[in-house]
A and B are shown apart, each in its own frame.
Chain A
């Protein structure tokens, strides 16, 4: 009887643990420093970037993203092949257990293809991330210009997403 009880208890703990593991994957992903990029008016797509941290003991896959700002949203990566930059659509961005994955220029990114309106500095863009279990996480991000991404060290005055004057008319 004692044995049965402890087996039951163990079973209960196990199922509780696995229940915990089943908590929505979105809840286990922390999003930091998200931003979308302002692109020249002729570019038909923008990209958004962020840092994703998985605090769970299981890998989590980001499988899709949604946004109202553009016609098509895709997960992409770049590879640098002896200096040749190749961009490819990918099916998922895997965030291994207890690991941080960085989406950044020149690498992984969420493509916002065919924006309905120009994506401009000063705006915010919302992107809804969907994970493999179907759970979602809404991310609100500022739009930054290419200049803000590479602030000069020292006495340079650029920053706050604006640099110089009369941008992009």
Chain B
């Protein structure tokens, strides 16, 4: 698990059988994240753990869900994205806030405990729920959503590893269907536009 320059991987939705060949669950010792370009990821329901217990995506049926995968040690990419989401959230009406849920899924279960995730998510004041799970569960979900992640050890500092990760925000509609993915650095204005589109 702690081999240098590795641990995690990777995955893109579609063609699960094919992906299995590239990335069997237990033996994920590749040097770099692999990008297997594929069609639209299929998404789907999942169950993960928050500080107050298990949450399933299907618990949020009827709400628009914005789903982001990252890790709390992330110094720049995750705070930028969640910060933009937070600014967008604050500009919504009470009714819209009610119909929206932002989920932050950590792909760094080794360090991100549910407690830590709550502390992190609360900082953004956007009613974000922080979720985590076992490495196996996370990999399976990541594969379905086309999320890629890989641990990168710091040669100078063994404890402070970074995690390469795809930085999309996934838009899951009120029926639990993955509708689109938004790129890193999507602005608050763009988030609001998308939210308005689904919460009409």
Q: Is B116 among interface residues, defined by CB-CB distance under 8 A? A: yes
Partner of A84, one of B33, B119, B122: B33
Partner of A153, one of B35, B166, B189: B189
Q: Determine whether the beta carbon of B75 is less than 8 Å from that of A46.
A: yes
The stretch of A14-22, A55-63, A92-100, A144-152 that contacts the partner chain: A144-152
Complex alpha-carbon distance, A109 and B79, angstroms: 14
Given A41-B119, A83-B166, decide whether A149 and B160 contact each other with a Cβ distance below 8 A.
no
Q: Is A8 among interface residues, defined by CB-CB distance under 8 A? A: no
What are the residues of chain A within 8 A of B125 when measuring CB–CB?
A: 164, 166-167
Complex alpha-carbon distance, A44 and B111, angstroms: 12
Complex alpha-carbon distance, A79 and B167, angstroms: 12
Q: Determine whether the beta carbon of A39 is less than 8 Å from that of B184.
A: no
Chain B 68-89 interface 0/1 with A at a Cβ cutoff of 8 Å (1 = within): 0000111111011011101100
Q: Determine whether the beta carbon of B160 is less than 8 Å from that of A44.
A: yes
Q: Is B134 among interface residues, defined by CB-CB distance under 8 A? A: no
Q: Determine whether the beta carbon of A80 is less than 8 Å from that of B184.
A: yes
Q: Determine whether the beta carbon of A78 is less than 8 Å from that of B166.
A: no
Q: Is A40 among interface residues, defined by CB-CB distance under 8 A? A: yes
Complex alpha-carbon distance, A83 and B69, angstroms: 12
Q: Is A87 among interface residues, defined by CB-CB distance under 8 A? A: yes
CB distance from A38 to the nearest CB of B (A): 9
Complex alpha-carbon distance, A150 and B122, angstroms: 19
Chain B interface helix/strand/loop/mixed:
mixed
Q: What is the size, in residues, of chain B's interface with A at 8 Å between Cβ atoms?
A: 44
What are the residues of chain B within 8 A of A86 when measuring CB–CB?
A: 152, 164
Q: Is A47 among interface residues, defined by CB-CB distance under 8 A? A: yes
Given A42-B116, A42-B119, A146-B83, decide whether A83 and B183 contact each other with a Cβ distance below 8 A.
yes
Partner of A147, one of B87, B122, B156, B184: B87
Q: Determine whether the beta carbon of A106 is less than 8 Å from that of B184.
A: yes
Complex alpha-carbon distance, A81 and B164, angstroms: 10
What are the residues of chain B within 8 A of A72 when measuring CB–CB?
A: 156-157
Q: Determine whether the beta carbon of A85 is less than 8 Å from that of B83.
A: no
What are the residues of chain A within 8 A of B162 when measuring CB–CB?
A: 87
Complex alpha-carbon distance, A78 and B166, angstroms: 12
Partner of B77, one of A45, A106, A145, A147: A106
What are the residues of chain B within 8 A of A111 when measuring CB–CB?
A: 75
Residue of A nearest to B70 (CB): A85
For window 111-139 of A, CB contacts with B under 8 Å fall at 111, 113-114
What are the residues of chain B within 8 A of A46 when measuring CB–CB?
A: 75
CB distance from B29 to the nearest CB of A (A): 18
Partner of B76, one of A109, A152, A153: A109
What are the residues of chain A within 8 A of B35 when measuring CB–CB?
A: 81-82, 84
Q: Which residues of B contact A (CB under 8 A)?
A: 33, 35, 37, 72-77, 79-80, 82-84, 86-87, 90-91, 116, 119-120, 122-125, 148, 152, 154, 156-157, 160, 162, 164-168, 181, 183-185, 187-189
Q: Which residues of A contact B (CB under 8 A)?
A: 37, 39-47, 72, 78, 80-89, 105-106, 109, 111, 113-114, 145-147, 149-150, 152-153, 156, 158, 163-164, 166-168
